[in-house]
Structure 1
Amino acid sequence: MFSDRNCPSLARKPRLFLLQACRGINLDDGVELMRDFDEVDALPILVPEYTVSPVPCFKDFCIVYATPPGCFAFRRPSEGSWFVKAFWDVVEKVDLSRVDFLRLATQVIHQVAFSFQSSADDPRIDAKKQSGCIYSMLTKDVYFTPKQDAN
C-alpha cells in the first residue's frame, strides 16, 4: 500500500512502521547469561560501488515489531505495552537529531529485552521475556531534525 508505485509522493522518503501487537502465542523463557564476552569484529570488506536500475519497490521501509513472528507481546495495565513504554523512554533520553532511527530502534529492543520480565500469578506466563524485531530496507540513515522556523 505504501510502495513507491502506489504512493509516488513517498518516493525517496523513509516509511517507518512501529507495530505493537502479538504475533502469536509463543512465550520466551529467556536464558541466563553467565558473563559478557568481548569479541573482535570481522575485518571490513570492500564493497564495490554499482548502480541498479530500476530500484526495488520496497526500498526505504523499516518495520519495527514489538516481538518476533509467532511470539506474544506483553503489556502492563498500569503502564501500557513494554514496547511502547521503552520506545517513549528512549525517545525522551536521546537527541533525536543525533541518533539515527535504526540505533533508536535497537536501543528500544535492548531496553525491552533487558529491563522487562513478566510477573503473573499464572506460571505459564510468569517470568517470561520479550524482544523486538527490526526489518529494515532503508537505503540511508534516518534522523529526526526539528523543522526550521518559517520566520
Structure 2
Amino acid sequence: MLNEDSVENGGDKETSTRKLQSSGQQNFFDTSDIYDFSHNKRGCAVLIMNHEFANPDLNLPPVQHDINSMSKLFSSLGFDVKLLINLTLEQLSLKLDEIRDGISNDCDCFVCVISTHGGEVPTFYQQTDIKGAYSKTEHYFLNTSGDVWTRDIMDTFDDQKCRALRGKPRLFFIQACRGNDVDEGVDLIDDGTKIEKDNNVDEYVNQDVFQIPCYNDSLVMFSSASGKYAWFDEKEGGWLLIALDRVLSSRSGEDLLSLLTEVCGDVATREVVNPSIQRAHRSKSTACVYHKLCKDIYFPSQNLK
C-alpha cells in the first residue's frame, strides 16, 4: 500500500416478511432472499492492522486512521470489534484461532478488515493427475515478522473450520498493494471519449489469472486491481477504507452490494497528485469485489437488535 505523496513510501432461513427503513420510507422484502440478521449478536469484526515493521522505512502511519475509522464504523453497526495490531505471524495465528473458537451460532455474520503492505506472487502446485504441476497468482500481506498468505486468513473462517458461520455472510475488506504496477487510468473529454495514454496497453493479455479463495457466502473486496499499487492518504487512511466508512456510515437499509458499487465509484474518482514523482502522478486505483453470496445483505439499525 502506497502513500499518494510517495512511491517509496448456515444462517437460519426466514420465510416471514421483514420491514426495513430506507430513505425515510418503509420497504417490505421477502426475507427468503435476505441473509438472516435477527440473531442476538451481530458478530465479530476483526481488524488486522499493521503500521510498524522491522524495517522502519516500511512503516505506515496512515494505517492508524484506518484503525480509528474502522473501529468506529463497525462498532456503530453492532459488531464486536477485535483489534489485531502489529502482531507477529505466531501471535496473529493464535488470536485468530481464539476468535474463531469463540464465535457462536447466534450471530449474523463475520467481518475482517486488513490494512498493511501487500503483493502477489505466483505459487506452484503439484498434482498427481495428468494435469501435473501448475501455478496460480496469490495475494499476501505483511506483518511485523514477514508475509502472511491472505487465503490462510479466509481458510480460518471457512465452513470446515468455523461451523458456526455456515450459511452466514463473511466479508473481507483488504487495503493492501497487489503488485508494483501503477494504474494510470485514462483521460476523458466532455463527451466521454477516452484519451489513451501513450503507453496504455491491455496489460492483462496473456497474464495469469489472479486467484483468491472465495467460499460460499463470502465476499472479498480489494483496494486495487490485480498487480496494482493500493494508495492511502496521509490524513485519512487507505482509499478503500475511507470510501467504505463514508458510504456505510451514512446509509442504512440498502443492499450491501449496491453500497459497495458506490464505494468502487468513490475510489475510482480519487487521483494521486505528486508531480515530483512522474510515475505516480495522476495515477488511479480501482477497487475490486469477488463474492459467492447467494442472498442480499442489509445491516439493520442497531436499535433493532
TMscore range, shorter length = 0.7 to 0.9
Shift of 1:59: 0.8
Q: TM-score scaled to structure 1, two decimals?
A: 0.78
Shift of 1:33: 2.7
Q: TM-score scaled to structure 2, two decimals?
A: 0.40
Deviations 1:29-57 (A, max 9, x none): 111234359xxxxxxxxxxxxxxxxxxx9
For 1:2-151, what aligned pairs fall within 5 Å after superposition? 2-34=157-189, 35-36=191-192, 58-95=215-252, 98-114=253-269, 116-120=270-274, 121-147=276-302
Deviations 1:61-119 (A, max 9, x none): 00011011111001111121111111111123212xx21111111110101102x1001
**Segments of 4+ in structure 1 off by > 4 A?**
147-150
Structure with the larger strand share: 2
SS of 1:18's equivalent in the other structure is strand
Deviations 1:125-144 (A, max 9, x none): 11001110000110101111
Shift of 1:146: 2.7
Over the aligned positions, Cα root-mean-square deviation in angstroms equals 1.9
Question: What is the CA–CA distance in structure 2 between the aligned matches of 1:12 and 1:132, rounded to whole Å?
Answer: 26
Shift of 1:149: 5.8
**Number of residue-to-residue matches in the alignment:** 128
SS of 2:220's equivalent in the other structure is strand
Question: What is the CA–CA distance in structure 1 between the aligned matches of 2:172 and 2:288, rounded to whole Å?
Answer: 12
Label 1:31 to 1:149 Cα distance change in 2 as closer, same or farther (>3 A).
closer
- Once structures 1 and 2 are overlaid, which stretch shifts more, 69-78 or 57-66? 57-66
- Paired residue type of 1:24: G
Question: What is the CA–CA distance in structure 2 between the aligned matches of 1:149 and 1:113, rounded to whole Å?
Answer: 34
Q: Greater CA radius of gyration, 1 or 2?
A: 2
Q: Whose RCO is larger (CA < 8 A, sep 6+)?
A: 1
- Paired residue type of 2:271: Q
SS of 1:89's equivalent in the other structure is helix
Question: Kindly, what percent of the aligned residue pairs are identical?
Answer: 34
Question: What is the CA–CA distance in structure 2 between the aligned matches of 1:36 and 1:125, rounded to whole Å?
Answer: 24
Question: What is the CA–CA distance in structure 1 between the aligned matches of 2:294 and 2:282, rounded to whole Å?
Answer: 38
Question: What is the CA–CA distance in structure 1 between the aligned matches of 2:222 and 2:295, rounded to whole Å?
Answer: 20
